[in-house]
Chain A
Amino acid sequence: MMGHTQWLFFMRIALSFLLASLAGEGVCRLARMPRITGYALAGLLLGPLGLDWVDGDDLPDFRFLVELTLTLLLFELGVRVSLRWLKYNPWVIASSLLESVATFIAVFGVLMGMGTEVKSALSIAVIAMGTSPVIVLRMVTEMRAQGQVTQRLLVLCGLNTVYSVVCFYLIMGWFQGAFHGQWFTALFHSFYLLAGSLGMGLVLALSFKLLRRMFELSDEQSAPVLFGLLLLLQALLVALELPVFLAPLLGGVLAKHFDPRPHLWPRHFGTAGSILTIILFMMTGSLLTRNEFVVGVGTAMIVVLVRFVAKGLGVLLLGPVSGLNLRQSLVLGVVLIPMAEIPLVELMDMRALYPQMGVKILPIVFSMMNVLEIVGPMAVQWGLIRAREFQEKTS
């Protein structure tokens, strides 16, 4: 029997979900804006800044779903990062490194200039490197986008997510060492997290290939198998205390590399994927408290701007040698705007581990994240339309 509070909880969440999905449809039809901008707006409305139906205390109940969503999307993104392509066209890696390093330096510099202390500035700079896989993949799917800008957007997003997560763990390791004075343990731990993630990614890719071959699975049949494998991976990662996000992304990259056959299963994940995305967006909106918003939003806006300029210049500089024309290079800078939600869960952990640091970083990061969840999808939509890489819907 369901308890009284549980019943209320489900009702609250169900209504929130319904409202968020309708908000998505609403902004899409009335304002021709991306659905996920609507989800993000609904998230803010439902969160502590608005009705306060959902807040940070609900996160533990949704942690599993949030992580599952990210696992699926990151694997899908990984499959779109072709190592062969990076070999044929190393300028793509060069432009990826340039835009990420430029973002890191610019954001770190500006925060230091504004008097933020070093550790917070480092953390925020590292988080700012990443482009949001969730927004990018949803927008590419929704617009059925294809072409060079789309292709590079996906690859740069995959790569800067890897840099961002790796650096985040390195920095956390460093903090830990600094806090506890155990340098060796801290370094070893960071190494364990990264090597472990790579190893698990490898295991995932190989087992997917093996199962596909053993059972001669067609694309459609392989979708449930893959889903099962990703669930298993998620469980193993939790058991081994490895980060949940690096392994599926690396696993996707390796899966495509070992098995370059077409991967059509994202089509079969479609509906489930979009439902999980709504939940994820509801949660980010719900994390931002009024207090944090007031403290963080000013700095956040400056960082958002600096980040945009750094990414834009980075890809503009190396766009042409990597095979884009000027217009495509400019557009690529714009579509990289959405910021990763990956650190969401890590940040919650950090808030628990190092409360003083959390207080300094979270207002800025959560404000950035929320601003970019509203602006980011619109930027991607604008960019892909400018690049003429979207497909009209045919009924």
Chain B
Amino acid sequence: MKLPPFTSSRPLTLGVELELQLVNTYDYDLVDSTTDLLRLLKKKGKDWDVKPEITQGMVEMATGICVSHADVFEQLDEIRQGIVECADRLDIGVCGGGTHAFQHWSERRIYDTPRFDQLSSLYGYLAKQFTIFGQHVHVGCDNADEALTLLHLLSGFIPHFIALSASSPFVQGNDTGFHSARLNSVFSFPLSGRAPLIETWDSFGEYFDSMMATGIVKSMKDFYWDIRPKPEYGTIEVRVMDTPLTIEKAAQIAAFIQSLTRYLSLERPYAPRETDYLVYTFNRFQACRFGYGGVYVNPRNHEHRSLSEEILDTLNKIEPHAIALKADEACAALRREVSNASSDVGWLRQQHAQTKSLAEVVQRQCARWRV
């Protein structure tokens, strides 16, 4: 397959995808009910975009093309309600969160499609370990070269996205101590990480062709990069976020990314360069491990500061753009969270401390997802 041409799309439009957990209502483990849920949703006759994911017990919901934070929220809210209604009819629970707190990867079953079967035979247990739940945000770009440049500029803010969305402290029944343990599962894939610093679509096409020639990739889907271009949609797709516990938070994060992209696109404070990536994996690790409390190293002036400071600073810089996009309320909500050091991870750990039961934590996650 050739690299498809980059479709032009309206700049700063948004598309949000959320991967969700389906659980039973007696012990709150993941349940293989994706097929049943999709069948009931189909009967509703709405054109909601809800798809299966790699294992049974996961489902992905997506908005159409949105122009604003309010738009994102309304679309997510409508689909969420539809999913909750259908899930109620099946006696299953739905919730957010980047990982399921205590599921065992070996009990997962691959969703039966040719692509998932092929991934499963290639990656073996990694495919089942990939039962993790992320939020993906697409941002529209009008041309390919601009998209690649924005991709690399946004790469500097990966720690921000991770810390804001983090909701996966528990893995396989244990508290990992991480804020986003989900990303550790992504890093084990051979083609994960950052995209190579290439800023023109022609050169990117050459890179893609040579990767194709090696036989290790067949399409863009084989790259598990933190941010990757999606030429068919004319977007770049930010993929590092955990699925937050509420759609409010998911919509706020989309609004933050939109405002930030407008800032980078209009003010263009600097040009991307390879040395920006020297601190990339360090910063990303700090965000995964410690959330807002992590260290953020500025690749330009080498200053070390706390990630919460850095996020608040970024929120200040992008404020005019947030106002222009009507995303200012959403950004203000994020600012309050960072200032109060409250987060989904904090909430999850608090529930666990209260109930001493991860199953009850999942039950409360489901209750939180409903409202």
**A residues with CB within 8 A of B:** 79-80, 82, 84-85, 88-89, 146-148, 151, 218-219, 256, 260-264, 323-325, 388-389, 391, 394
Cβ of B340 under 8 Å from chain A: no
Interface size class of B (residues with CB under 8 A): 20 to 34
B357 in contact with A82 (CB, 8 Å): no
Q: Assuming the A-B contacts A263-B27, A394-B107, are A218 and B36 also in contact, with contact meaning beta carbons closer than 8 angstroms in the complex? A: no
Nearest Cβ on chain B to A264's Cβ, whole angstroms: 5
A146 in contact with B24 (CB, 8 Å): yes
For B109, list chain A residues within 8 Å (CB): 388
Closest Cβ neighbor of A146 among chain B residues: B31
For the complex, what is the distance from the CA of A178 to the CA of B29, rounded to whole Å? 52
A148 in contact with B26 (CB, 8 Å): no
B33 in contact with A262 (CB, 8 Å): no
Q: Assuming the A-B contacts A148-B90, A151-B91, A391-B107, are A323 and B36 also in contact, with contact meaning beta carbons closer than 8 angstroms in the complex? A: yes
Cβ of B217 under 8 Å from chain A: no
A147 in contact with B33 (CB, 8 Å): yes
**B residues with CB within 8 A of A:** 24-29, 31-33, 36, 39-40, 88-91, 104, 106-107, 109, 356-357, 359-360, 362-363
For the complex, what is the distance from the CA of A82 to the CA of B92, rounded to whole Å? 11
For B357, list chain A residues within 8 Å (CB): 218-219, 261-262
Residue of B36, B89, B359 near A88 (CB, 8 A) is B89
For A79, list chain B residues within 8 Å (CB): 26
Nearest Cβ on chain A to B250's Cβ, whole angstroms: 25
For the complex, what is the distance from the CA of A257 to the CA of B227, rounded to whole Å? 45
B28 in contact with A323 (CB, 8 Å): no
For B39, list chain A residues within 8 Å (CB): 323, 325
For the complex, what is the distance from the CA of A388 to the CA of B109, rounded to whole Å? 10
Residue of B36, B107, B363 near A262 (CB, 8 A) is B363
For the complex, what is the distance from the CA of A263 to the CA of B90, rounded to whole Å? 19
Closest Cβ neighbor of A324 among chain B residues: B36
- Listed from nearest, the 6 A-B pairs whose CB atoms lie closest are A262-B359, A85-B91, A88-B88, A89-B89, A394-B106, A262-B27
A218 in contact with B356 (CB, 8 Å): yes
Nearest Cβ on chain A to B111's Cβ, whole angstroms: 12
A82 in contact with B36 (CB, 8 Å): no
Add 19 more A-B contacts to A146-B29, A394-B107 (CB < 8 A): A80-B26, A89-B90, A89-B91, A146-B31, A147-B31, A147-B33, A218-B356, A219-B359, A256-B26, A260-B25, A262-B357, A262-B362, A323-B39, A323-B90, A324-B36, A325-B36, A325-B39, A388-B109, A389-B32
Closest Cβ neighbor of B88 among chain A residues: A88
Nearest Cβ on chain A to B358's Cβ, whole angstroms: 9
Q: Please list 9 pairs of residues, one from A and one from B, whose beta carbons are closer than 8 Å in the complex, sorted by A's number.
A: A80-B26, A85-B91, A89-B89, A218-B357, A261-B357, A262-B26, A262-B360, A325-B39, A391-B107
Residue of A89, A219, A256, A323 with highest tally of chain B CB at under 10 A? A323
For B91, list chain A residues within 8 Å (CB): 82, 84-85, 88-89, 151
For A219, list chain B residues within 8 Å (CB): 357, 359
Nearest Cβ on chain B to A208's Cβ, whole angstroms: 15
For A262, list chain B residues within 8 Å (CB): 26-28, 357, 359-360, 362-363
B33 in contact with A323 (CB, 8 Å): no
Nearest Cβ on chain A to B38's Cβ, whole angstroms: 11
For A85, list chain B residues within 8 Å (CB): 25, 88, 91
Closest Cβ neighbor of A85 among chain B residues: B91
B359 in contact with A148 (CB, 8 Å): no
For the complex, what is the distance from the CA of A218 to the CA of B40, rounded to whole Å? 36
Q: Assuming the A-B contacts A82-B91, A89-B91, A323-B40, are A261 and B32 also in contact, with contact meaning beta carbons closer than 8 angstroms in the complex? A: no
Residue of A147, A151, A264, A391 near B359 (CB, 8 A) is A264
For B25, list chain A residues within 8 Å (CB): 82, 85, 260
A148 in contact with B363 (CB, 8 Å): no
Nearest Cβ on chain B to A188's Cβ, whole angstroms: 38
Closest Cβ neighbor of B355 among chain A residues: A261
For the complex, what is the distance from the CA of A394 to the CA of B24, rounded to whole Å? 21
For A391, list chain B residues within 8 Å (CB): 107
For the complex, what is the distance from the CA of A84 to the CA of B370, rounded to whole Å? 15
For A324, list chain B residues within 8 Å (CB): 36
Closest Cβ neighbor of A79 among chain B residues: B26
For A89, list chain B residues within 8 Å (CB): 88-91
Nearest Cβ on chain A to B86's Cβ, whole angstroms: 8
For A394, list chain B residues within 8 Å (CB): 104, 106-107
For the complex, what is the distance from the CA of A311 to the CA of B32, rounded to whole Å? 26
For the complex, what is the distance from the CA of A166 to the CA of B41, rounded to whole Å? 37
Nearest Cβ on chain A to B90's Cβ, whole angstroms: 6
For A261, list chain B residues within 8 Å (CB): 357, 359-360, 363
For B31, list chain A residues within 8 Å (CB): 146-147
Nearest Cβ on chain A to B91's Cβ, whole angstroms: 4
For the complex, what is the distance from the CA of A229 to the CA of B26, rounded to whole Å? 21
Closest Cβ neighbor of B354 among chain A residues: A216
For A146, list chain B residues within 8 Å (CB): 24, 29, 31-32
Nearest Cβ on chain A to B59's Cβ, whole angstroms: 15
Closest Cβ neighbor of B31 among chain A residues: A146
For the complex, what is the distance from the CA of A84 to the CA of B362, rounded to whole Å? 18
For the complex, what is the distance from the CA of A162 to the CA of B360, rounded to whole Å? 29
For B24, list chain A residues within 8 Å (CB): 146, 151
Closest Cβ neighbor of A322 among chain B residues: B89
For the complex, what is the distance from the CA of A256 to the CA of B24, rounded to whole Å? 14
